Chain A
Amino acid sequence: MTLLRQPRVTGAGRIAGARRRGSTARRRATVVAYLFALPFIASFAVFMVFPVLASLGMSFTDFTNRDIQNPTSVNPVGFQQFSALLSNPQFLRSVLNTVYFVGVGIPLTMVIALALAVALNSGINRFRTAFRVGFFAPVVTSIVAVAVVWRFILQPDGLLNEALAAVGITGPNWLGDPAWAMPAMIMMAVWRSVGTLMVIFIAGLQNIPQEVLEAAEIDGAGRAQRFFRVTLPLMRPTLLLGAVLLSVGFLQFFEEPFVMTRGGPLDATLSISYFTYNQFGFGNFGLASAASYLLFVAIALLSLVQFRLFRSKD
């Protein structure tokens, strides 16, 4: 470990340096720091800060694709785009769909991921790596590519329904039936998100001090009691983190409906991102920006709510 071999002089040198640190030294450090940060700041300003602010600005205008070459023809319209959204049945549908997707998808993913993490962490040693790799494989693959496969699996006479038929259940026309298209999307989203959460949860479980669990056992706590009274409360920060990460991802849900259903049938899988993408395609940049901003606000709010929720239970 080279990290541990520290030269002796540094202690004294550091204190002297700190004492000597005047405004000139700090000004010099600031210049150096900005030289280091310059490439990032430039790209960050042009490709992140500017677009975010521009998008906010655009959401208060009637900007369309015709205005790209001549931005002076853009008119400010105040909150008109936002009120247009709130009276647009397709947008409202996309909000409901996204809420449905997030509301069912996140708890489902969390529960399954936690169960897998606990199982993998409970003294399972053989095939441990194989299990992790297996559950993680959907995470690393392109959503577009796996959505292609899922489209076949979910056909009325596809693999899933054939498996259901084997146990005596007649499966629905998953992607063709408005009532079943969203459950199908959720199934797929859970499939591809469980791995990430599982890994995060395993890390969280391993941070729980063994002594606490042993003490609980000595006090006569059973398996279930130890899990619900000791493990879960200690896992709260990790669970919170998982929930926030998942919400940020799930709220932007776009690829699955794009490849599998094009938002259909009857807008049943139209998400907010998909609505935004469609409006962009129609050239309604102002409306699309307003929709994307509402999504951003939703993501920020949900993260806040989750922080509050998990903290207040202490």
Chain B
Amino acid sequence: MTAPPLATRRRQDRVPFVRAVTYAALILAVVVTLIPFAWMFLGAFKTDGELIRRPITWWPDQPTMENFVTWFTRLDFGQFFLNSSIVAVATVLGNLMFCSMVGYALAKIDFAGKRVLFTLVLITLMIPGVVTFIPLFVVVSKLGMISTYPALILPFLASPLGVFLMRQFMLGIPDALLEAARIDGAGELRIFLRVVMPLCGPALATLAILTFLGSWNNFLWPLVAAQSEDMYTLPVALSLYSVGQNATNYGVLLAGSVLVITPILLFFVALQRYFIQGIATVGVK
């Protein structure tokens, strides 16, 4: 990068207080944004008594691990975590494989019906999940798969968004590279695996992150498809324990929230550049 344009620099020098105000506003805004997180994390270590006591306290009076212990003893956190993880990992792997395969066909092979297929993919990007879940439920229950892993995984193995993402990225890979491999006698499968896929690292990383995020936080379908407690994913377990008699166990609910979002938050902080790039890529198209 070169030095900032002259006009920008001059503007900044002329009005330093604009910068100060901007910083102050941004800091205030980010603090306000993060307050719910702070309150959640601190609250998870408070007793129910302290949580309902007024005035509100920030720092726990007598920090307790009791709320977390409840998740591992009275509730089956291990099982919920395992369910969420199995579903997320399977969904990510499926998307990486299947979306890149179609992406390759759509970007690099000239075939009959290509436009129709791509248009269908684009149209389905707009269809809300609530439209499909009733027929899906009927299909899955006819197949006897309600409350099984396949019910939670299969509908999400390939996503139109992933296909779109992979196609867009692969369009940018020069055809000449593929032609060279073809001249050298490589078949399409070989070209796909040895030439195209190794170049798709950034797109695959983006797709993996977005799919993992979507799967980990997915709610409506698991709520419908996981009808027995041993198949609940984390958000489903948390939402079902947040009503009825459990709704008054404030500390347990906050601890549950912490347990649900901590893995994804850690993942996010570690890979934040790619997360943000991914959203920008998919958004900007």
Q: Please give the residue numbers on chain A whose beta carbons come within 8 Å of chain B beta carbons, in ascending order.
A: 2-3, 6-7, 9-11, 13-14, 17, 26, 29-30, 32-34, 36-37, 39-41, 43-44, 46-52, 54-55, 58, 68-69, 116, 119-120, 122-124, 126, 129-146, 148-153, 157-159, 162, 191, 194, 196, 199-200, 202-204, 210, 213-214, 217-218, 238, 241-242, 245, 248, 251-252, 254-255, 258-259, 262, 272-273, 276-277, 280, 285, 288-289, 292-293, 295-296, 299-300, 303
| CB-defined contacts of B283 to chain A, threshold 8 Å | 196, 199-200, 203, 241-242, 245
8 Å CB interface, B154-209 against A = 154-155, 157-158, 160, 163, 173-177, 179-180, 182-183, 188, 192, 199
Q: Are B177 and A6 in contact (CB under 8 A)?
A: yes
Binds A, one of B60-68, B74-82, B131-139: B131-139
Apart from A36-B188, A132-B272: 10 A-B pairs, beta carbons within 8 A: A46-B139, A51-B134, A52-B127, A123-B8, A145-B258, A149-B37, A159-B39, A203-B284, A248-B126, A277-B130
- What would 7 A/B residue contacts be, using CB atoms closer than 8 Å? A3-B174, A32-B105, A36-B102, A119-B25, A149-B36, A194-B33, A295-B131
**Closest chain B residue to A57 by CB distance?**
B135
Q: Across the interface, which residues of B come within 8 angstroms of A33, CB to CB?
A: 105, 109, 111, 114
- Asked if B124 contacts A48 (CB within 8 A), the reply is yes
Q: Do the beta carbons of B250 and A152 come within 8 Å of each other?
A: yes
A137 and B37 contact, CB distance less than 8 A = yes
At the interface, yes or no: B97 with Cβ under 8 Å from chain A? yes
* Complex interface: chain B residues within 8 A of A134 (CB): 30, 33-34
Task: Knowing A11-B176, A123-B8, A199-B280, say if A159 contacts B257 (CB, 8 Å).
Answer: no
Flag if B179 contacts A17 (CB, 8 Å): yes
Known: A210-B8, A277-B220, A292-B130. A144 touches B280 (CB 8 A): no
A119 touches B188 (CB 8 A): no
Across the interface, A299 reaches (CB within 8 A) one of B55, B128, B138, B163, namely B128
Contact A145 B256 (CB under 8 A): yes
